[in-house]
Every structure is written in structure tokens, then in C-alpha cells.
């Protein structure tokens, strides 16, 4: 159960929290967003695409958005067709064709081979990588298997970190070669505080991921919340195990809560009447939430290893800050890295 402070932070943040866009020039820089064809990813892509000068009166209108003029933007999408439709929407809305090159690269987090191929393409074909937003995810209420694990765990956890670790060398090389800080931003969620943490207390004779992938006992109503807690646990360990910086500039790794937003993420879930009523009062638009992603992927070195919510550094939930949560997180990391080593030994070596 979440602590009273966890619940208060979530509710107050949703009701009164503000988000904003950074005022930085991203000319000449390259960014990659997974899940870039819809929801938070698509809105973040629009913000990153091109700068529009706004009058002071226009700034108060959320339909007029300052954009940041990135030179190259890669949308990592499962469907090339949907990705191309997203590019058309971005170009139509932002008129950024003369400033930003946008491409769709296929990546399907349901399949490890696709993730490995995508990461190798990032490392080999991009001349630089300034920011990577690991945004793609899924919320399911029915049990499905993918790569021998419950599908939510495959996509939200294993594939997300397989990809995040695999592109770290490119971020680090870019930082050194261009004397700039680069960023890896992983999309977490405030919902991690509502995760059923007892489900992670698995006996030492069985792997956590294997136990959670038993169709007879899998709690799919709570699976998304649990997967986001596990994303947070893996983030803490990734920061510990990522190679140290060899110079003044580094790959900054941070974790961002985009807020409770209205997106297609929950398209497979029928919300209860109470949930719909609550969202009508404190829910955010996708555009408002997407600003947190852009803020995180352009944040300074003070954000390294930190959880960002409402565009500021914020403590994670009480379970994440406790000793037991840390021990479970370490065990989850070790199990997941063993799995990643079987999938792609080269990637596992980056954090060994």
C-alpha cells in the first residue's frame, strides 16, 4: 500500500502541478523517441521539432507551443505506416520540414531481435545521439505471452532496458566527441507507488519474472502498476552500473513521471466510473505530460540518477526509498541482466 505522503504527492501533483518547456536551442542535435507515433511520444516529437516565436499573449494558450528545433528526430515505432502518419501530422502542425529531418525506424518491443537490430542501427547509422527517450510501453488487462514472459514485462521492462543499455555507448561517444552532455530519459510513472509490492517477494528458488509470468496467478489488474515499479527499480540499478564518465561531459540518465494523462496507452482497459470521474477532475492532456519528457531529455547534470516529476527533481515512492525495496530491486536487476546476456551478450557487457 502507498504511504499517505505518496498519495498526497500524487493527488496534489495532478491537481496543482505545472509543466513547462525548456528554452534551449537543439540545432544540430539528434534525438530518438520510442513510441513516437502516438500520445506522449508524438507530442514530445512535436515540441522537439522546430522553434516558433510566440508573443507574450500567445504563451498563455496551450495550443501555441514553443518548439526546440532539433535537427534530426528518429521515431521508433512498431508500425512504419503509423510512424509515417505521425510524421505527416508533425510536419503539418509545426511546418518544420526546413529545420528538422524526421525518420521512422521500425522497432517492436514484443521481439528481442527487433530491439537488438534497432539498437545496432542507432549505434552504426547515426553520426551522433544527443537524447534518447525510452517511452514505448503497454497496459494490458488480459494475460498474453511474449518472448516466454507475460507481455507487459517483456515490453515495459526487459525490452526497455535491453534497448536503453544498448544505446548507452552511442550517447557516451557523442558526449566525448562533441564535448556535450547527452541524455537517456526513461519514462516511469507516479503510479509506481500503487504497485502490489508483495508480488515481488518471490522465493529464492524461482526468478521474479518467471513467477510473475504464471497465467494461473498473474494479477493483470495490477500488472501495469507493478511493471512501472519494476522500471523504477531497474533505473536505480542502471545508474549504479552504467560506465563512469571519462571526461567533463557524460551521458545523463534520468527517470520521468509524465503524469496521469489521457493517451492511447489505456485503450485496452475499461476504466471504472470512479476512475473516469477522477480523471475528469485532475487528469492531464497528453500535450501537458509530454513537456515533462522534453524537460527531462534536456535537463542538466543535476538530474543524473534522479526521478523527475512536474519538471523538477522529486523523491520516489516510499517503497523505492526503503531497504527492502532496494534489495528486491538489486535482485530484479541481476535476473534481468542474466536474461539480457542470453539475448545479446554484447549489450550485457556495457554494464558488467
Confidence of residue 162 (pLDDT cuts 50, 70, 90): very high
Residue 29 cell numbers, joined: 542535435
CATH code at position 251: 3.40.50.720
Mean pLDDT value across the chain:
91
Q: Residue 227: inside a domain, yes or no?
A: yes
Q: Is the dihedral of CA 331, 297, 258, 339 positive or negative?
A: negative
Mean pLDDT of 170-181: 96
What CA–CA distance (Å, rounded) separates 190 from 315? 11
At a CB cut-off of 8 Å and minimum separation 6, what does 188 contact?
Answer: 228, 231, 232, 235, 255, 256, 257, 307
**Tens of pLDDT, residues 121-150:** 999 999 999 999 999 999 999 999 999 999
CB burial readout 254-285, b (16+ within 10 A) else e: bbbbbbbbbbebeeeeeeeeeeeeebeebbbe
Q: Is the dihedral of CA 25, 30, 32, 36 positive or negative?
A: positive
Q: Residue 335: inside a domain, yes or no?
A: yes
Confidence of residue 245 (pLDDT cuts 50, 70, 90): confident
Eight-state DSSP code of residue 302: G
Q: What is the pTM of this model?
A: 0.93
Q: Residue 351: inside a domain, yes or no?
A: no
Q: Residue 350: inside a domain, yes or no?
A: no
Q: What integer pLDDT is reported at residue 271 of this predicted model?
A: 65
Q: Residue 222: inside a domain, yes or no?
A: yes
Closest to 229 measured CA to CA, from 206, 198, 260, 254: 198
Q: How many domains does the chain have?
A: 1
E strand or H helix at 254: strand 251-257
Q: Residue 331: inside a domain, yes or no?
A: yes
Residue 251: which domain range?
4-341
Q: Residue 352: inside a domain, yes or no?
A: no
Q: Is 185 helix (H, G, I), strand (E, B) or coil?
A: strand
Q: Residue 349: inside a domain, yes or no?
A: no
Q: Which residues are catalytic?
A: 224, 228
Amino acid at each position: 500500500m502507498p504511504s499517505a505522503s505518496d498519495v498526497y504527492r500524487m493527488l496534489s501533483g495532478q491537481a496543482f502541478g505545472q509543466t513547462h518547456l525548456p528554452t534551449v536551442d537543439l540545432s544540430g542535435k539528434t534525438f530518438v523517441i520510442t513510441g513516437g507515433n502516438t500520445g506522449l511520444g508524438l507530442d514530445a516529437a512535436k515540441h522537439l521539432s522546430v522553434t516558433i516565436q510566440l508573443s507574450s499573449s500567445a504563451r498563455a494558450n496551450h495550443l501555441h507551443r514553443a518548439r526546440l528545433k532539433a535537427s534530426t528526430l528518429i521515431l521508433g515505432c512498431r508500425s512504419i505506416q503509423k510512424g509515417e502518419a505521425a510524421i505527416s501530422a508533425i510536419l503539418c502542425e509545426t511546418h518544420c520540414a526546413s529545420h528538422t529531418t524526421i525518420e521512422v525506424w521500425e522497432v517492436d518491443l514484443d521481439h528481442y531481435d527487433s530491439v537488438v537490430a534497432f539498437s545496432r542501427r542507432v549505434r552504426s547509422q547515426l553520426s551522433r545521439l544527443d537524447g534518447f527517450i525510452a517511452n514505448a510501453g503497454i497496459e494490458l488487462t488480459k494475460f498474453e505471452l511474449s518472448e516466454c514472459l507475460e507481455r507487459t514485462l517483456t515490453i515495459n521492462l526487459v525490452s526497455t532496458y535491453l534497448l536503453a543499455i544498448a544505446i548507452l555507448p552511442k550517447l557516451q561517444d557523442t558526449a566525448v566527441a562533441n564535448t556535450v552532455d547527452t541524455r537517456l530519459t526513461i519514462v516511469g510513472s507516479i503510479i509506481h507507488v500503487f504497485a502490489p509490492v508483495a508480488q515481488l517477494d518471490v522465493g529464492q528458488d524461482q526468478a521474479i519474472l518467471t513467477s510473475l509470468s504464471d497465467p494461473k496467478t498473474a494479477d493483470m489488474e495490477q500488472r501495469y502498476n507493478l511493471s512501472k515499479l519494476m522500471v523504477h527499480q531497474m533505473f536505480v540499478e542502471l545508474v549504479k552500473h552504467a560506465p563512469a564518465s571519462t571526461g567533463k561531459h557524460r551521458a545523463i540518465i534520468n527517470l520521468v513521471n509524465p503524469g496521469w494523462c489521457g493517451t492511447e496507452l489505456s485503450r485496452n482497459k475499461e476504466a471504472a466510473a470512479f476512475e473516469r470521474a477522477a480523471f475528469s477532475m485532475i487528469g492531464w492532456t497528453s500535450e501537458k505530460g509530454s513537456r515533462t519528457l522534453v524537460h527531462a531529455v534536456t535537463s542538466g547534470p543535476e538530474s543524473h540518477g534522479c526521478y523527475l516529476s512536474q519538471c523538477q527533481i522529486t523523491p520516489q515512492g516510499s517503497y523505492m526509498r526503503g531497504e527492502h525495496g532496494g534489495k528486491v530491486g538489486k535482485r530484479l536487476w541481476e535476473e534481468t541482466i542474466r536474461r539480457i546476456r542470453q539475448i545479446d551478450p554484447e549489450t550485457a557487457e556495457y554494464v558488467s
